[in-house]
Chain A
Amino acid sequence: MLTQQEIMMIIEGLRDTLIIVGLSTLFGYLLGLPLGIILAVTDKDGIKPNRIIYKILDLVTNILRSFPFIILLVVLIPVTRAIVGKSYGTGATIVPLVVAAAPFIGRMVESSLKEVDKGVIEAAQSLGAGNGTIIFKVLLAEARTSLLVGATIAFGTILGYSAMAGAVGGGGLGSIAIRYGYNRFQPQILWPSVIILILLVQLFQILGMRISGKLDRRKK
């Protein structure tokens, strides 16, 4: 059985995981949502095509997406230090997580927005809508269910990355699972941590799908 202390540790781990993943998703969207919008808008079939902007962002996004997360974690140490003040600990894992998540989120936002029917965009233009109106009232509004599904996927992916936070001394369940479960071979700590992680992903998956289903008005 787990000791009182071990239970406390797992609860703290859960709290850290939620903080890390929550903040990383939040900041990831703060960067990724505009990125995705710009990608969708400036692409050649977008509402304001701009070859140069699209190509640059496309390239940067691809480069960041090709970094294995654990490498990104190391490469970004100077940046993390500049932003957080130190290169280890819970706060320090958020920086590389955001950098990893933003391009991923950007791509998902881009593809969600590109699913919006071109005819509807054309109709909005024919009504005299400007690009700002089209982005907020047509693209984002019409793609909302797809965006929510994307957010659910993003959350799960970031949760997966966050397990590597232990490598730089960050907290969270993933880190606990590695340190106690792997390094010290304590399966009684490994398994509860893993099961909680699985439940967490399940919970958010179900929640995300349910909300997006509720919000979808395309069904009869």
Chain B
Amino acid sequence: MSENIIEIKDLNKSFVSEKGHVEALKNVTIGIKKGDIYGIIGLSGAGKSTLVRCINLLERPTSGKVIVGGKDLMELNDRQLRSERRKIGMIFQHFNLLMQRSVIDNVAFPLEIAGKSKKEARKKALEYLEAVGLSEKAAAYPAQLSGGQKQRVAIARVLASKPEILLCDEATSALDPQTTKSILTLLKEINEKYGITIVVITHEMSVIREICSQVAVLDHGELVESGSVEELFRNPKTEEAKRLVYSGSTHVLSMTSKKVVRVFFNGQDSYEPTIGNIILETSTPINILYANTENVNGNAVGEMLLQLPDDVEKADRFIRYFEEKGLNPKEVKYDADSAGNNDDN
């Protein structure tokens, strides 16, 4: 465990709000290895943002330990904590740039905090702006930039304090898919080039799939599942993880009308025309209500919702076949009326 750059142990955080006592985090324990890109995923309100703010103590946990780079942050005084924070960069959903400072002065800001002169800070800042491909915007102000450019400035600003860790709090949630992709690519580059450990907080499975190697699933303040991203996609164990992996299918299911099963693919089966074969074999059509299959590291994984014939005998034939093929069929309740309304999160 000693190679873990971040160790969170039995972390609890509760708030006293107007609505009463809220337990935002319950006994969360996570170990993050140096150089990893670690994803923390959960629906909104799951406690992800609170958790990531506990890593640099922007939020003070109610109990538990936060050990970063071997140092127990809760034991440090203000001055020591500030110097540790410089090693833990953070980027945000809404970028949080200084709006009255030019782009270059935003990037120079952490250098000024570190005691560099304004001139020296600007010179260094330009190098970091180059690293994120924005040196031509040095004199512009944040209000003149697009969302993706603002996030690049925020990343350059973080890099200027030479962090060992980068916390990303929904850093791509305010961006369109294409910009998201370019920011994620940049994060991956940073991880490889500077060896910075990255912690990614998100509610989007696609972000996890894109860049993370390890993942933890947070639900109502509890860590319900963690492990490699590949494993999570192949075999999500908890309900919450399944819901996130197969996101989009969640609200399709509400009431029973016909016989519907959900089948799961896990790699080895997907090059075989499994569904086609059984249809040919039984000469009975079945209806694919929903399908989501992915290619994860060379293995196709995913799920389908299949509407089976009303005839019990024939339906059972399909189910036995799926079981034989290891597709783990599960009968689900399905409401045709609400099938169309699947807004994201």
User: Which residues from chain A sit less than 8 Å from chain B, CB to CB?
Assistant: 117, 119-120, 122-130, 133, 137-138, 141-142, 144-145, 215-220
Q: Is the CB of A138 within 8 A of B98?
A: yes
Given A133-B113, A138-B98, A218-B143, check contact A123 B92 (CB 8 Å).
Answer: yes
Q: Is the CB of A128 within 8 A of B86?
A: yes
Q: Is the CB of B110 within 8 A of A127?
A: yes
With beta carbons under 8 angstroms apart, the residue of A126, A144, A216 that contacts B90 is A126
Given A127-B85, A128-B110, A137-B112, check contact A120 B98 (CB 8 Å).
Answer: yes
Jot down 29 A-B pairs with beta carbons below 8 A, ordered by A: A120-B97, A120-B99, A122-B58, A122-B96, A125-B58, A126-B56, A126-B85, A127-B85, A127-B110, A127-B113, A127-B157, A127-B158, A128-B84, A128-B85, A128-B86, A128-B113, A128-B114, A128-B161, A133-B112, A137-B112, A138-B98, A141-B98, A141-B101, A145-B100, A215-B100, A217-B101, A218-B100, A218-B141, A220-B144
With beta carbons under 8 angstroms apart, the residue of B78, B100, B112 that contacts A144 is B100
Q: Is the CB of B85 within 8 A of A125?
A: yes
Chain B residue nearest to A144 (CB atoms) is: B100
Asked if B82 is at the interface (CB within 8 A of a chain A CB), the reply is yes
A217 to B101, CA, bound (A): 8
Q: Is the CB of A126 within 8 A of B143?
A: no
Identify which of A119, A127, A145, A220 gathers the most chain B CB atoms within 10 Å of its CB: A127
Q: How large is the interface on B (under 10, 10 to 19, 20 to 34, 35 or more residues)?
A: 35 or more
Least Cβ distance of B114 to chain A in Å? 8
Chain A residue nearest to B141 (CB atoms) is: A217
With beta carbons under 8 angstroms apart, the residue of B100, B110, B157 that contacts A142 is B100
Chain B residue nearest to A123 (CB atoms) is: B96
Hey, which chain A residues are within 8 Å of B85, CB to CB?
125-128
Q: Which residues of chain B (102-127) have a CB below 8 Å from chain A? A: 102, 109-110, 112-114
Q: A122-B96, A126-B85, A130-B78 are in contact. List 16 more A-B contacts (CB 8 A).
A: A123-B97, A125-B58, A126-B58, A126-B88, A126-B167, A127-B113, A128-B161, A133-B112, A138-B98, A141-B100, A144-B100, A217-B99, A217-B102, A218-B100, A218-B141, A219-B143
Determine chain B's interface SS by DSSP, over half rule: mixed
A216 to B94, CA, bound (A): 20
Hey, which chain A residues are within 8 Å of B96, CB to CB?
117, 119-120, 122-123
Given A144-B100, A220-B143, A220-B144, check contact A128 B92 (CB 8 Å).
Answer: no
Hey, which chain A residues are within 8 Å of B99, CB to CB?
117, 120, 142, 217-218
Asked if B302 is at the interface (CB within 8 A of a chain A CB), the reply is no
With beta carbons under 8 angstroms apart, the residue of B94, B101, B141, B161 that contacts A127 is B161
Asked if B89 is at the interface (CB within 8 A of a chain A CB), the reply is yes
Least Cβ distance of B268 to chain A in Å? 45
